[in-house]
Amino acid sequence: MSQAQRNLAEDLWNGREEVEVLTFDIAGEMFALEAVKVQEILDLLPETTVPGAKPFVGSVINFRGKVIPLADIRLAFGMEATKPTIDSRIIVIELDIDDEPTLTGIRTDKVNEVTTLMKAAGEPPPSVGMRWRPDFIDCLVRRGGEFIIIPNLHTIFSAQQERMPNQPLQA
Amino acid sequence: MSFPDPIAVFRTEAAELLEQIETGLLDLNHDLADKEQVDAVFRGLHTLKGSGAMFGFEALAAFTHHCETAFDQVRKGIVPATHDLVTAVLGATDHMRALIETPNGDHEAASEVLLAGLRAAVAAAADPSQTPAAAAPAKPQDVGYRIRFSLPANAMANGTNPLGLLDELAELGTCRIRADKSDIPSLDLIVASDLHVRWDVELLTDQPRSAIEDVFIFVMDEMQLDIAALSPNPAAAPAAVPAVAAPVSSATPAPVVAAPTPAPALASAPAPAPATAPVPAETRQNETKQAKSAENVRVPAERLDELMDRVGELVIAQSRLSQLANSSADLQLRAVSEDVERLSGELRDTMMVLRMVPVAHLFSRFRRLVHDLAIETGKKIELITEGETTEVDKSVVERLADPLVHLVRNSCDHGLETPEERIAAGKPAAGRIYLTARQQAGEVIITIRDDGRGINRERVRAKAEASGLIASNATLSDQELLQLIFQPGFSTAQQVTNLSGRGVGMDVVKRTIDALRGTINVASQNGEGSNISLAIPLTLAIIDGLLVRVGNGRYVIPLSAVEECLELSLDEDMRSRGRSFISLRDSLVPFIRLRDLFRTGTKPDPFQKVVVISTGAERVGLVVDQIIGDHQTVIKGMSKLHHDVATFSGATILGDGGVALILDVGHLVAAGQQQEAQLRAAG
């Protein structure tokens, strides 16, 4: 497991010493995604619930004439749902799902900034002391006494495809 | 603008020509006296030869020339058309394809064999009285003709090259050509691309008059041509004048001798186009005029798809505009919005028509297939096609080709009996295969029917049991049993033939039709033949839908599945608590409450509606809160993340920018039945 994690972490850095990321908040935790993967940041849009779909991707939105799924990754991390606020945004990213590039929206509570993370400050997720599935996390990066979580979207999305997470997932 | 590769253009054109020639030949095979088809084949061969030579396909041109010569003789009545001749030329068309594909390949030997066959066929056809060398029946005397002709003013703009015509005339014999320039207007009135010159030709030839007419065969319709035989005496006159140096006599006509120079140059010099695009342009034009095809533009399919996407987006943007306009009091805005609505509606309709192609193109290839299969199997087979004008979306047609080939092959190989068996069974010796297409609601039904032996159900069952597809004593409905033939690896043929029987094919058919969201229905009567019908949706891009509301969500029901809408009366509603049926004109229709199925958690509207849909044999009512109206639905696929949700076949974007899901009627009914079963189980 730890070997796999290291590989994934190296995937993010890809041999680089620093990476530009977009940081955002979900349920009080700060997350970050590599900035070049982000297509667009949207204000909240009217959502259409898809009856019968998994709660993780329970709805779709109209993104520039395309119908794209809206994912709620807090469900993958077993976090409490938060009420939409004036700061709530949707981040649109492109993901490879079954080798098919798929645009997907991710619900966030607040989008912070684009910043540079140093590889030196990164750490693989600890194997104990964490309530989240370790393979959902690429790595943790220290910054000013806080940790920024780099989620491994690939694992998260393929896990959601495999089964119905009716209950929040817990390690 | 990029220039298309001329060779590629020639290849596509040649492929079409060959197809036309083939069709002509096959028609001719049915009715050997059909003069029109002889002409059509001849024209096709002639054009192919001409453009082949022009694009450097010398081997093709040389080879085609022989076929053309053979057909020329048929056309002139020197030799009658025979089945052997038609078969020989059919074989030759395949060789022409090879020559087009690999112009530099080694085709010498094959060419020789085919030409020998062709010559034999011609000789045999000519045999009864004529000599084998039918080309020259009896050396006729040289006869003089006076030919006057004028071409329409736009002839050169259309690609006709008068010099080519003059050259061809000169090849017939000794001739003297004069240009009549009396019609040339003064310089300020000259239209550079127009033809102002007429010609006056005296020709001394041993060829019949029809040979002269042939020179003009492609422009005949629009030109003025006057051919008069000169009396035998002065016939010597033009011969006496050497073709090379003919001095002028009259004041106006300038001397234009057989060598192609001044007069046309005068007209064409400012517009060199006709000179650079001579033969094929001319013949292509002829093709559009004389063959039935209208003027066509070739467009890559992907550009059409792009256009379709744009139109889809426009339709969505337009419905947003009309929503805005309707909520505003600005009359001018409303007027504009209505205009845009009308225009985008028309644009959408035109776009849909653009993508529709008649199935005739698809069907035509089967005539050749059946012709070949008949020879291969030694059976007599007639193919009867109906409804060729039925139109289907282009992408659908393309994907239908392979499954249909499998089905037709199967009918020929397994379905039809040998002539002896047929006569013994009291049927006509020739087996018939009917290939029909018709439109029914939002679907195209394509049927392949044969009058052969039918599907042997015992053999199907035995085979399925042997290969473990079904348990040995499974009870199956007739349709279930027949559908077994679409299982992978299934084949009832006792021996594998060249054509079919390997058990691949039918499952490919099934998979392709499934992918097109179509259905297959099999019917078979022992000893009387089988009937396979494919029902395919007309288009995969835009459908007419009925927009409804359930709870807070809006959904589209494909209009082609909707039978009627009615109100669920409070009375019915209350009574139907226990059983989910309504009675509709004396028949019971089960219904599904979409609110329950979708777990909306909202209160039902006081006046709920029932949309009655039909899925093949079954009718089902869907209870919705509100019927919003019909809606032009641009189908957007759902992402992979939602592939597990079978209730919806896609999504669409509404005028207000919201998303509505499109109900997959078939799956919905299944889901409803499941729910019903659970309810029953729960008591």
**Residue A101 pLDDT grade (very low, low, confident, very high; cuts 50, 70, 90):** confident
What the block records as the tokens of B545 is: 């839908």
Instruction: Decide: residue A149, CB within 10 A, 0-12 exposed, 13-18 middle, 19+ buried.
Output: buried
Kindly give the pairing relationship between strand B143-150 and strand A110-118: unpaired
Q: Which of B552, B597, B642 sits opposite A69 (nearest CB)?
A: B642
Mean pLDDT is lowest, of A54-63, B310-319, B431-440, for: B310-319
Torsion of the alpha carbons at B147, B148, B153 and B158, rounded to the nearest 10: 0
- CA B117/CA B609 separation, integer angstroms: 73
Q: Give the pLDDT confidence of B506-535 residue by residue, as tens digits.
A: 777 887 887 777 788 888 888 888 889 888
- CA B284/CA B275 separation, integer angstroms: 15
pLDDT score, position B671: 66
- With an 8 Å Cβ cutoff, are B640 and A66 in contact? no
- Return the ∠ at Cα B502 (arms to B498 and B503), rounded to 5°: 145
**Residue B194 pLDDT grade (very low, low, confident, very high; cuts 50, 70, 90):** confident
3-state secondary structure of B438: strand
Kindly give the pairing relationship between strand B659-663 and strand B553-558: parallel
Task: Report CA B70 to chain centroid distance, whole Å.
Answer: 29
- B-chain CB neighbours of A51 within 8 Å are 553, 597-600, 645, 647
Kindly give the pairing relationship between strand B198-205 and strand B143-150: antiparallel
**Residue A111 pLDDT grade (very low, low, confident, very high; cuts 50, 70, 90):** very high
Containing domain of residue A77, as a range? Answer: 2-162
Q: Do B66 and B115 form a contact (C-beta atoms < 8 A)?
A: yes
Domains held by chain A: number: 1
Please state, rounded to an integer, the average pLDDT across all residues of chain A.
Answer: 79
pLDDT score, position A70: 92
pLDDT score, position B260: 42
The answer to whether residue A170 sits within a structural domain is: no
B475 pLDDT above the threshold of 80: no
pLDDT score, position B224: 78
- CA B436/CA B354 separation, integer angstroms: 23
Backbone angles phi, psi at A79, to 5 degrees: -95, 160
Q: What is the rounded end-to-end Cα distance, in angstroms, of chain A?
A: 14
Q: Where are the alpha helices (DSSP H) in B79-199?
A: 83-101, 108-126, 162-172
Q: Give the pLDDT confidence of B269-319 residue by residue, as tens digits.
A: 444 444 443 444 444 444 444 445 557 777 787 788 788 778 877 877 887
- CA B639/CA B656 separation, integer angstroms: 22
Domains and CATH numbers, chain B: 6-126 (1.20.120.160), 143-290 (no CATH), 301-357 (1.10.287), 359-537 (3.30.565.10), 542-682 (2.30.30.40)
- With an 8 Å Cβ cutoff, are A51 and B653 in contact? no
The answer to whether residue A147 sits within a structural domain is: yes
The answer to whether residue A111 sits within a structural domain is: yes
Q: Give the pLDDT confidence of B73-86 residue by residue, as tens digits.
A: 887 778 888 888 88
- CA A85/CA B197 separation, integer angstroms: 83
Chain B interface, mutation test: which of A54, A67, A92, A160, most B Cβ atoms within 10 Å? A67
Q: Which of B636, B640, B652 sits opposite A102 (nearest CB)?
A: B640
Residue B594: CB partners within 8 Å, gap ≥ 6? Answer: B550, B555, B622, B623, B624
- B-chain CB neighbours of A68 within 8 Å are 639
Q: Give the pLDDT confidence of B348-361 residue by residue, as tens digits.
A: 778 877 878 888 87
Q: Give the pLDDT confidence of B540-590 residue by residue, as tens digits.
A: 667 778 999 998 889 999 887 888 898 887 776 666 555 577 777 777 778
**Residue A1 pLDDT grade (very low, low, confident, very high; cuts 50, 70, 90):** very low
Q: Which of A51, A68, A69 sits opposite B647 (nearest CB)?
A: A51
Which chain A residue has its CA at the smallest distance from B598's CA? A51
Q: Do A147 and A129 form a contact (C-beta atoms < 8 A)?
A: no
- With an 8 Å Cβ cutoff, are A67 and B638 in contact? yes
Average pLDDT over residues B494-499: 47
Q: Do B165 and B279 form a contact (C-beta atoms < 8 A)?
A: no
The answer to whether residue A171 sits within a structural domain is: no
DSSP A125: P
A58 pLDDT above the threshold of 60: yes
Q: Give the pLDDT confidence of B8-55 residue by residue, as tens digits.
A: 778 888 888 888 888 888 888 878 878 888 888 888 888 888 888 777
Helix (H) / strand (E) element for B449: namely: strand B443-450
Q: Do B623 and B580 form a contact (C-beta atoms < 8 A)?
A: no
Q: How many CB atoms lie within 10 A of CB B34?
A: 15
- With an 8 Å Cβ cutoff, are B658 and A53 in contact? no
Could you tell me the CATH number of the domain that includes residue A25? 2.40.50.180
**What does the buried/exposed string (b/e) look like for B81-120 if buried means 16 or more CB atoms within 10 Å of the residue's CB?**
bbeebbbbbbebbebbebbbeebeeebeebbeebbebbee
The answer to whether residue A169 sits within a structural domain is: no
pLDDT score, position A66: 83
The answer to whether residue A120 sits within a structural domain is: yes
Which chain B residue has its CA at the smallest distance from A94's CA? B639
